[in-house]
Every structure is written in C-alpha cells, then in structure tokens.
Amino acid sequence: MPRFKEREKLKKHVLERIKVLFREAKLQFKEKPELADRYVFLARKSAMKINLKLPREIKRRFCKHCYKYIVPGVNCRVRINKNRVIYYCFNCKGYMRFMLKMKKIK
C-alpha cells in the first residue's frame, strides 16, 4: 500500500514540474524558440519516465510529429472543420486533429 501513495505523490510532483516547464517555454518562445523546444523535450521525457498521461491543455501546446513548442498563429495554423480542431505545424508540415465535444440535444 505505501508504494501506491509514493507513486501518486511522484506523479503530482512531476506534473507540477511539467507545468513549470511549459510556463517557461511560453515565456522563452519569443527570444529563444530552441530553448522552448528543449523544455518540451524535458517535460515529455519526465512524463514518459513515470508513465504519466499529459493533460489536454498541455498536449495541444507541442507538435506530435516534431515535438516543437507551438504557438497558434506564429508557427502553426488552427482551423475548425466540422467537429474537429486541426493544427498544421509550419516546422514539419504535419497535421494534428482534435475532436470537439458534441453537445447533447434534449
């Protein structure tokens, strides 16, 4: 039982670290975009090390193909088509599609 609590505590700690890294990536993107990409690399590596699922708002901040930090309008294009949000990365020319939640009609 104690291992489970330690594991949960470790996951919370790593998630906080990932949030700090993405906050720093956002601040550093204008001056040093390669540093922002390095922060994304470190965040992904630490999440993979403990098998942590990244939250939705963090997943959408980097390209799933080239793992570069993404700022909509600067290095990616955002479009809405039917019930999807489509991100087009200018670095690797890759597309990422995210489903929008459908509203239930009563």
The predicted-structure confidence for 79-93, as pLDDT tens digits, reads as follows: 999 889 999 999 999
Q: 2-99 adopts what CATH topology? A: 1.20.5
Residue type for position 45: K
Domain edges within the chain: 2-99
pLDDT of residue 5: 85
* 90-106 pLDDT, tens digit each: 999 999 999 988 777 76
Please name which of 105, 102, 70 lies closest in space to residue 86, comparing C-alpha atoms.
70
pTM of structure: 0.85
* 5-35 pLDDT, tens digit each: 888 999 999 999 999 999 999 999 999 999 9
CA distances from 1 to 4, 49, 50, 52 (A): 6, 21, 18, 20
